[in-house]
Structure 1
């Protein structure tokens, strides 16, 4: 088996919920040893309490047995080692400092300033290990503050970023994305920043603080589309299922569902007209050029809608494919995660319970394929504190007596 890119790197994972744990999941899949530090006083990562739970007999809405594990943790905890540690206690911070001496990366997603108040922030970590790459994911950035109540959850970030007003038709209420895009986008930038900082540390011996804001990440992505230009030109920013500025482009009804087609270029548009058995439309003055199709987008899209609604998805897509038009059926999530190509590439994988084995449930793999190394999540999610002995006794060399004393004090 080839090596993984981050083999030999150790990550101290102070994260909880989704944004932080997804970042450390990716680092684990790339080969880092991720030591997940969980507070024994609170039951560990908050996602351990998320319904539904994976049981020996399948998923259930509530926990009924000590071995039951939330599907959230089953997904996000893979590839990680769990150590319990109460960082509010001085002895807990001493153990954390010992771990820092063996670490390359720290990732946390506390509210801004919380890590510093606990005594485990960047400056404290840097004093122990100057090479440490310390990554913070927060709602509004390490400086704190923020709009609204200043408390960040995915829906709050979606609301503040403007993305809720990009989907739907003009005049519709705000549309919350079903996928928690704020929680999932920030960790991608956090991993990019972390890897860049690791390279910097390897070249210079200097660690640094990597600071990623959920609001900044999502708003930055939003600004890739020229919504401000639309506003200045008096064009609607919300166009629902269609994209008039790229006409023909959007989602259209079929007899048994929906299809998506993208035909912004002259060649693709001609393919759409040919698929509709209306090749003469390519010479129609309303549709003959890209700019004219944009001006006549409403008429063009209505013609396509009338055509597609009389065909099944498969029929419409075959006709479009025969004429070289990018098109596909619109899938529901359960269908999408079972795409044979996605499964074969390990981009979606079966989740494995630490006690009961394969669950039949699906979750994210590492959607990156390397030619000279590999990426995977090689162990199931751990129970809380499962690796106290392996990490504190093995890595740090703590004796059984010391571990017992720390447990008695409530540190572990």
Structure 2
């Protein structure tokens, strides 16, 4: 069938979402944005996904730190649960587990981010689901992979173990936690890539399988893009604050009203920097005439550049640098960055919607992928806890309304 602008890549695929917090829900958010029917399974005994209770909240009175009305919803959850359906199932109850496996019979994908081994103990692990659906793709996101680990897989713990805390900050300073929860955000990206690859394998006649992604492995794998072990062996600094030891001119430089980022390590870009600061003759200076020389003499080169940026506003410095062909940008505050009309226009950042109150005025992530002949977007608000329980069970199991009410009274749904 030829794709149309209204076709979504994963249209018709059903995903059972056993995830909570951030790493798992972000993976299923992307799958939902790509068009999959995502059925979020939440525990009625604990109030559902833990992120439903993340401050701040938003309601009729706007964002606030505490709930003041039953309509108030966590901004975290509003962002992570869009385009999903919510069903409540107590998976510790044999009846809840049986209902989950019944739903799994017709699912294409199951995604979970329990600690390693938890899903198996609950009777909903890969082997349990495969027994009822041999073609299922069962994606597991955990701190340390299927073999497990000794530490709790919180993002800050993963950052600590990955080494990234000693890549930022000045030499000899305390370790620096990356401002975004990068462990929680990188693992779901790899999980989605693995899931889509496994779905393609099934579609061409291959077997269903488990996709196993480790938060620590995902983050450490990216860390190794920079050869820190080689830096150590050749005596190069491995921690240099806002600079990179193999690039110059490169870094964050103070301006009169803030900071400017410059990334100009090639000969052509460096010539643009020298032209911008009115010192073209530096291109003939033996210290700066070639890339290796600039790296060896980076401290001197960066002092010259910062003397120039300090005398100018961010905007003025960036305008002059870019007009001369040197890559440069103002260093923006997060709140300013998410208002960028370019990312808003492309739907990469969008306004979050409350399920009953409508627009919130609060920004959240869109799907940062554009297709020429398909759609990918998050156009439905996050569901209330268990909002779709009856609908899903009536449509996808043999239960009646009376059966569901009995299960609800027993705390199973």
| Fold conserved between structures, TM > 0.5 | yes
Moved more, 109-118 or 395-404: 395-404
Q: What's the counterpart of residue 171 of structure 2?
A: 170
- CA-CA distance at 1:205 after TM superposition: 4.6
Q: What's the counterpart of residue 317 of structure 1?
A: 318
SS at match of 1:351: strand
Q: What's the counterpart of residue 66 of structure 1?
A: 70
Q: What's the counterpart of residue 232 of structure 1?
A: 233
1:4 aligns with 2:8: yes
Q: What's the counterpart of residue 102 of structure 2?
A: 98
Moved more, 389-398 or 267-276: 389-398
Task: Tell me how far apart the structure 1 counterparts of residues 216 and 130 of structure 2 sit (CA, whole Å).
Answer: 27
Q: What's the counterpart of residue 27 of structure 2?
A: 23
SS at match of 1:41: helix
- CA-CA distance at 1:280 after TM superposition: 0.5
Task: Tell me how far apart the structure 1 counterparts of residues 246 and 356 of structure 2 sit (CA, whole Å).
Answer: 53
Q: What's the counterpart of residue 121 of structure 1?
A: 125
SS at match of 1:375: coil
Per-residue deviation, residues 254-311 of structure 1 (Å, max 9, x unmatched): 1011110111111111110010000010001110111111110000001001110000
SS at match of 1:244: coil
Q: What's the counterpart of residue 269 of structure 2?
A: 268
Moved over 4 A (4+): none
Q: What's the counterpart of residue 51 of structure 1?
A: 55
SS at match of 2:39: strand
SS at match of 1:187: helix
Task: Tell me how far apart the structure 1 counterparts of residues 15 and 206 of structure 2 sit (CA, whole Å).
Answer: 17
Task: Tell me how far apart the structure 1 counterparts of residues 308 and 124 of structure 2 sit (CA, whole Å).
Answer: 62
Q: What's the counterpart of residue 283 of structure 2?
A: 282
SS at match of 2:67: coil
What does residue range 230-379 of structure 1 map to in structure 2 within 5 Å? 230-379=231-380
Q: What's the counterpart of residue 145 of structure 2?
A: 141
SS at match of 2:292: helix
- CA-CA distance at 1:243 after TM superposition: 2.1
- CA-CA distance at 1:397 after TM superposition: 4.5
**Any unmatched runs of 5+ in structure 2?**
none
1:161 aligns with 2:162: yes
**Any unmatched runs of 5+ in structure 1?**
none
> Structure 1's 397 and 357: CA in aligned 2 closer, same or farther, altered over 3 A?
farther
Task: Tell me how far apart the structure 2 counterparts of residues 111 and 20 of structure 1 sit (CA, whole Å).
Answer: 12
Task: Tell me how far apart the structure 1 counterparts of residues 127 and 236 of structure 2 sit (CA, whole Å).
Answer: 48
The size of the alignment, in residue pairs, is: 409
